[in-house]
Structure 1
Amino acid sequence: MKNNVLGLLFFSIVLLSACGDPVGEDLDHYINEELASIIDLEEGVIMEYESVVGSNYTNDKDLYIHLEEVVLPMYLDFIEQLEAINPETSEIRELHEIYISAVNTQYNAMVKLLGAIDYQDHGMVSQSNQMLSEGRAKIREFHNEMDGLIEEYNVEFDIEMNDFE
């Protein structure tokens, strides 16, 4: 009987160590499978957005058309795919919600920019820029939180996530 108890205890320890940490496993799955499968779409959105703003800005009409016909539909597709991700652990769900909030803030900023162009309202342009700044701050928060979890759970990953700027 003593051997059976020791055997059961040994088996339980081996089984538990083989299972790993649920948060670490969820983080690994979240980064290396879920985010990895959609990160190219986000990078495409960023490239398309940057192709019509800042030093690439030509005029309001081109900006408006490109935002409406290219950038926003791509970003909406990315958001839908991002929101379809459902992490298993509360720690990774909380992290994920930061990211969702960030990209929704940025999407809404771009929609506001369309309205600003429609109404030729410089105040709305300022509001849009402020919302983009808030979105970038939330993305930095997401990255900082994710980096902390990566270090805590010793997760390795192959993707590179860029801040939306």
Structure 2
Amino acid sequence: MKKWLVAIFLPILILLSGCSSDPVQDDLLNYVNKEMKEAAKLEKTAVSAYEGVSGTNYQDDQTMYDVLNRDVIPNYNEFIKELESVKIETDEVREIHEIYIEGADIQFNAFAIIKQAIEEQDANLIQKANDMLADARKHLREYQTKLNKLAKEHDVEIGK
């Protein structure tokens, strides 16, 4: 009798446990572990190139201009294309991803304005680009905060 009960109820329990999975958790895991892998590489390449010629690493306008044209803008453009092609299943993850896209678009436009500022030797454009970069950083921090919060709510660990 016990074997008969186990034979009937075990498959039902397995089916029920499969039905109670968390679609947001599944989407987050796919998003972080698969969908964002290539985008992260492209972003790192572009941002590292920019950081190598800006701030305390600034050498001269020509060097900055060359790196923007050769490395930063093309890689960042590919990064944005990759972001836009990411497949997302849930509204919760999609909402957070849109914040990332918005921040990335602002940052990309800031890089283009820096290039223009160097071409035109226009300090006002540099200030505009710096303001845009600050705005982009705000979006990217918001994205990271919301992503971490959602991950915590759905028991997903995100590596640093």
Q: Structure 1 length as normaliser, TM-score?
A: 0.85
Structure 1 match to 2:113: 112
Q: Deviations over 1:103-125 (max 9, x none)?
A: 11100000011111111111111
Letter in 1 for 2:150: L
Q: Structure 2 matches for 1:6-155, cutoff 5 A?
A: 11=12, 14-19=14-19, 20-155=21-156
Runs of 4 or more above 6 Å deviation? none
- Are the equivalent residues in 2 in contact too, given 1:49–1:67 (CA < 8 A)? yes
Q: Which whole-Å CA distance do the structure 2 matches of 1:135 and 1:157 have between them? A: 22
Structure 2 unaligned spans of 5+: 1-7
Q: Which whole-Å CA distance do the structure 2 matches of 1:81 and 1:125 have between them? A: 27
Q: Which whole-Å CA distance do the structure 2 matches of 1:15 and 1:37 have between them? A: 35
Structure 1 unaligned spans of 5+: 1-6, 161-165
Q: Which whole-Å CA distance do the structure 2 matches of 1:75 and 1:16 have between them? A: 45
- Are the equivalent residues in 2 in contact too, given 1:24–1:153 (CA < 8 A)? yes
Give 1:16 shift: 4.2
Letter in 2 for 1:30: Y
Q: Which whole-Å CA distance do the structure 2 matches of 1:53 and 1:118 have between them? A: 16
> How many residues are aligned here?
154
Tell me, what secondary structure is at the counterpart of 2:100? helix
Tell me, what secondary structure is at the counterpart of 2:59? coil
- Are the equivalent residues in 1 in contact too, given 2:103–2:139 (CA < 8 A)? yes
Q: Deviations over 1:42-64 (max 9, x none)?
A: 11111101111111111111111
Q: Which whole-Å CA distance do the structure 1 matches of 2:15 and 2:133 have between them? A: 47
- Are the equivalent residues in 2 in contact too, given 1:32–1:157 (CA < 8 A)? no
- Are the equivalent residues in 2 in contact too, given 1:64–1:117 (CA < 8 A)? yes
Q: Which whole-Å CA distance do the structure 2 matches of 1:129 and 1:15 have between them? A: 55
Q: Which whole-Å CA distance do the structure 1 matches of 2:137 and 2:128 have between them? A: 14
- Are the equivalent residues in 2 in contact too, given 1:99–1:142 (CA < 8 A)? yes
Higher RCO (C-alpha 8 Å, min separation 6): 1
Letter in 2 for 1:150: A
Q: Deviations over 1:65-115 (max 9, x none)?
A: 110121100111111111100201111111111111111110000001111
Tell me, what secondary structure is at the counterpart of 1:74? helix
**Larger displacement relative to structure 2 (124-133 or 32-41):** 32-41
Q: Structure 2 length as normaliser, TM-score?
A: 0.88
Give 1:23 shift: 0.9
Q: Which whole-Å CA distance do the structure 2 matches of 1:138 and 1:144 have between them? A: 10
Letter in 2 for 1:134: D
